[in-house]
């Protein structure tokens, strides 16, 4: 069955004066997909969203929605709904009037407007607030109304520009779950801009990681997290331990690395093959390191150390271990397994070779 492409960007470029903020961006988004643009501030994600919306024009490249070229087409002719970071509700209008605004511009009948407004209020689980004003709602409720206003026109494309960033942590988590439920229920093609890795990982079918206006990687959340295409992607998505060293042995699909601080690391051969004598960077996620109170001789994929600090975060405890000249971050789910171990105690860090990621370092061979 042939895939239906709702949105396509072909070699899009955008400059502000002499500064290229989006460079050679190409992407196909399938009908019903939830896509996140993820990256740090200034990486070009909101600029790209604004080009899709029609608020900005690309300097080069083509933008297509449902197979039709959209370059030069104004926003109101693009059949899309957009939710902004700041709600952008009209304070002098009731909730119902805010939601119905787009329908009124489209000259819908009063009965049709009332029916559709109530339908989206039920959808966002705020059925009884139609007569209230925005100032009478909480931040989370206002953002739900902004989403309802975008959905009421039944857009073929929903654009979300960091809609959760102004909310506190608990509300952000609740509304994130609500967005996931809404997408599963109505299936509208969605593009979501965020700098929050957790939001992108939990919501997306695919993630586009951007850095300095260029695409670093496009992939599923699992691919992005476990098989990053670059050092930037690996360090931006979640925490990681980064060690530098030299490949001392390559045998079949396995390799050994001697780190600069004295660890011996065994790993599987990376996608970009390395050779003996080559400098590499070794990455180990904190949750992949097993911490124990016992000690053992230094060996492959294990290191003795001293527990320096612990931070209890509910579901897990973050630990810092000084091992040799390295400070290792470790996530422990059940600290009671380490009863009696306190900062200053001797501990052993161990990890499996399949949990080690190796990437060629800048420069080639020694």
The predicted structure's pLDDT at residue 336: 63
The predicted structure's pLDDT at residue 364: 46
Which CATH fold would you assign to the domain 5-236?
Answer: Rossmann fold (3.40.50)
Low-confidence ranges of the chain (pLDDT < 50): 364-366
Q: What is the pLDDT of residues 194-225, one digit of tens each?
A: 999 999 999 999 999 999 999 999 999 999 99
The predicted structure's pLDDT at residue 103: 85
- Tell me if 308 sits within 8 A of 291, measured CB to CB: no
Longest C-alpha distance within the chain, in Å?
79
- CATH class name, domain 241-365: mainly beta
- Tell me if 274 sits within 8 A of 250, measured CB to CB: yes
CA dist., res. 312 & res. 321, Å (int): 15
The predicted structure's pLDDT at residue 361: 83
Q: What is the pLDDT of residues 51-72, one digit of tens each?
A: 999 999 999 999 999 999 999 9
Distance of CA 203 to the CA centre of its chain: 8
CA dist., res. 255 & res. 247, Å (int): 7
Q: Beta partners for 38? A: 194, 209
Domains of the chain, by residue range, sit at 5-236, 241-365
Three-state secondary structure of the chain: CCCCEEEEEEEEEEEECCEEEEEEEEEEEECCCEEEEECCCCCCHHHHHHHHHCCCCCCEEEEEECCEECCCCCHHHCCEEEECCCCCCCCCCCHHHHHHHHHHHCCCCHHHHHHHHHHHHHHCCCCCCCCCCHHHCCHHHHHHHHHHHHHCCCCCEEEEECCCCCCCHHHHHHHHHHHHHHHHHHCCEEEEEECCHHHHHHHCCEEEEEECCEEEEEECHHHHHHCCCCHHHHHHCCCCEEEEEEEEEEECCEEEEEECCCCEEEEECCCCCCCCCEEEEEEECHHHCEEECCCCCCEECEEEEEEEEEEECCCCEEEEEEECCEEEEEEECCHHHHCCCCCCCEEEEECCHHHEEEEEEEEEEC
Q: Beta partners for 291? A: 349
């Amino acid at each position: 069955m042939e895939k239906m492409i709702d949105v396509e960007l072909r070699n899009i470029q955008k400059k502000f004066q002499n500064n290229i903020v989006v460079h050679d961006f190409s992407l196909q988004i399938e009908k019903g997909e939830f896509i996140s643009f993820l990256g740090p501030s200034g990486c070009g994600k909101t600029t790209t969203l604004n080009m899709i919306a029609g608020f900005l024009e690309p300097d080069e490249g083509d933008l297509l929605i449902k197979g039709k070229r959209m370059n030069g087409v104004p926003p109101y002719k693009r059949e899309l709904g957009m939710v902004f970071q700041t709600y952008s509700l009209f304070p002098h209008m009731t909730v119902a009037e805010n939601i119905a605004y787009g329908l009124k511009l489209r000259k819908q009948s009063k009965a049709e407007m009332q029916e559709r407004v109530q339908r989206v209020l039920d959808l966002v689980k705020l059925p009884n607030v139609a007569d209230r004003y925005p100032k009478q709602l909480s931040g989370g409720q206002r953002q739900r109304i902004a989403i309802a206003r975008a959905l009421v026109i039944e857009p073929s494309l929903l654009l979300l520009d960091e809609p959760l960033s102004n909310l506190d942590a608990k509300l952000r988590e609740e509304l994130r779950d609500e967005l996931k439920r809404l997408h599963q229920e109505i299936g509208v093609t969605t593009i979501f801009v965020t700098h929050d890795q957790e939001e992108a990982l939990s919501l997306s079918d695919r993630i586009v990681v951007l850095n300095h206006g260029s695409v670093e990687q496009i992939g599923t959340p699992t691919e992005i997290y476990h098989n990053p295409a670059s050092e930037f992607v690996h360090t931006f998505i979640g925490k990681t331990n980064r060690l530098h060293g030299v490949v001392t042995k390559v045998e079949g699909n396995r390799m050994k690395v001697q780190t600069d601080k004295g660890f011996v690391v065994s790993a599987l051969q990376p996608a970009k093959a390395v050779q003996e004598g080559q400098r590499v960077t070794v990455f180990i996620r904190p949750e992949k390191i097993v911490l124990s109170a016992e000690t053992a001789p230094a060996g492959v994929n294990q290191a003795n150390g001293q527990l320096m600090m612990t931070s209890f975060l509910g579901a897990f405890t973050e630990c810092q271990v000084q091992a040799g000249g390295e400070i290792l971050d470790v996530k422990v789910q059940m600290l009671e397994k380490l009863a009696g171990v306190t900062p200053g105690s001797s501990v052993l860090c161990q990890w499996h070779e399949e949990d080690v990621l190796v990437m060629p370092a800048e420069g080639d061979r020694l």
